[in-house]
A and B are shown apart, each in its own frame.
Chain A
Amino acid sequence: MKKLLFSITLLNCCNIVFAQKFYTKNGSISFFSTTYVENIQADNNQVMSVLNATTGELQFSLFIKGFHFKKALMEEHFNENYLESDQYPKATFKGTIADINKINFLKDGVYPILVSGDLTMHGITNKISSKGSITIKEGAITGSSVFSVALADYKIVIPAIVETKISKTIEIKVNCLYDQKM
């Protein structure tokens, strides 16, 4: 009887510890275009992300209109001419973290990770993989990564007249604090 009670209790505890998904609605993704003429940066602080600690599944989703620039006209052109955000309002990533079991979510530390999956934006999906890290500090989980995408891979066309101002590859920085769980 006691054994049964103990095992049921243990099962419940296991559920709490392991069958867990961490998520956020306020993650940050920024991108940078660097050329000798002009540096462009835009930030989106309403990135949604779900990290499944059991399966290693990792997903991101954001609204293109959530990217904000320092120059209003740049933001307008970004939405109207380049990303066509009325037609393609979202960008998503659906992938997995390799060897998720190596991360001990209960122990503080910086764990290097390798993420691979499908990145969809401007209506086009490509397989990408990137290195990153998961940082655990006093129970708080932060995921971060830096990677590059080529505009041509997503059929984002830069007209000749502004070619010198916009880089052909864009650096993307991801930083998400997974502040909620279920």
Chain B
Amino acid sequence: MLQKKLILFCCVFASLNQCVKAQNTTDTTDLMDRLEIETTNSTTEYAAATFKTSRLINGHTIETLGKAVLDVKISHRFGTLNNGAYQLFGLDNATMRMGLDFGITNNLMVGIGRSTYQKTFDAFFKVKILRQSSGKKKMPVSISYVPTIAIRTLDWGDSINKYPFSSRVSYTHQLIIARKFSEALSLQIMPTFIHRNLSPLIAEPNDLLAIGIGGRQKLTKRTSFNLEYYYMLPGYKIKGTTNSLSVGFDIETGGHVFQLHFTNTRAMTEKNFISETTGKWQKGDILFGFNISRVFNIGKKKS
């Protein structure tokens, strides 16, 4: 009898338990809310599209191309505005860089280019080291590393001295640390190391240090205002040069990104625009320029 009573008790308890459970979770919405929280906590969400394209104005952004994406970049910098109407405010002169960038993986890209400034060839790769994320894995910033090699092929204009090929070569190493603060605002800092195999004067160092800061503020979904400034650290600034300061405007239309900007530098390779800018904004040495980027997906089409 006692045994029976015990069984009965257990059964009643079990059914009560079920009832309570059933009531607690009757609401389908409650269960859905729980699933959403679980999913949010178990997935990592990476910050995407911190910048519109792989260049901010003259220099790089944190962004790399997607896998098997080819990016054709044509960039122009015209003459300075203070040339006046005779030179159509600089439009009569232009330096140009043609470039091809390619995404090997989603985190690694390579690129080559040729600029009319000192007839310079350049090549670089860019790798994403860290990606800003939230959710399961939390990371406050994204970090990319970009080493660039630049080779000046312009004649030395010196018939007496012979220079070896190596004196035409320079290297730039940049670490780019970026954070997308909101949908509209992204900022990055770019510590930069430049090594020149040949410095024009013995008194000048071969190794130079600079820090860049830059950012974008979106104006609409498809346009943004950009700013880029490279500061040569004291002791590394070459006499007669100024820091590079540029403001720009991005317009994105599907596969194209148009970047229009005003800057004080004619060059478009890192070593040249970071350490050899001579234009002064306050004197009107302001150049209008643009970059046009067109991307092509050249990966195999999956059905």
Contact = CB atoms under 8 A, between A and B. Distances in A.
Contacts of A4: 8
Contacts of B66: 71-73
A182 B32 CA distance: 12
A95 B65 CA distance: 41
Contacts, number: 94
A146 interface: no
Contacts of B35: 23, 25, 48, 50, 61
Given A8-B12, A12-B15, A182 B31 contact: yes
B199 interface: no
Q: How large is the interface on B (under 10, 10 to 19, 20 to 34, 35 or more residues)?
A: 35 or more
A161 B253 contact: yes
B188 to A, nearest CB: 18
A65 B28 contact: no
Interface string B33-63: 0011011100101001100000000000000
Interface of A: 1, 4-5, 8-9, 11-12, 15, 19, 21, 23, 25, 46, 48, 50, 52, 55, 57, 59, 61, 63, 65-66, 70-73, 75-77, 79-81, 84, 86-87, 90, 94, 159, 161-162, 165, 182
Interface of B: 4, 7-8, 11-12, 14-15, 18-19, 22, 25, 28-29, 31-32, 35-36, 38-40, 43, 45, 48-49, 65-67, 69, 106, 182-183, 221-222, 253-255, 295, 297, 302
Given A9-B11, A86-B183, 9 more contacts: A5-B4, A5-B7, A5-B8, A8-B8, A19-B18, A23-B35, A25-B38, A50-B32, A76-B49
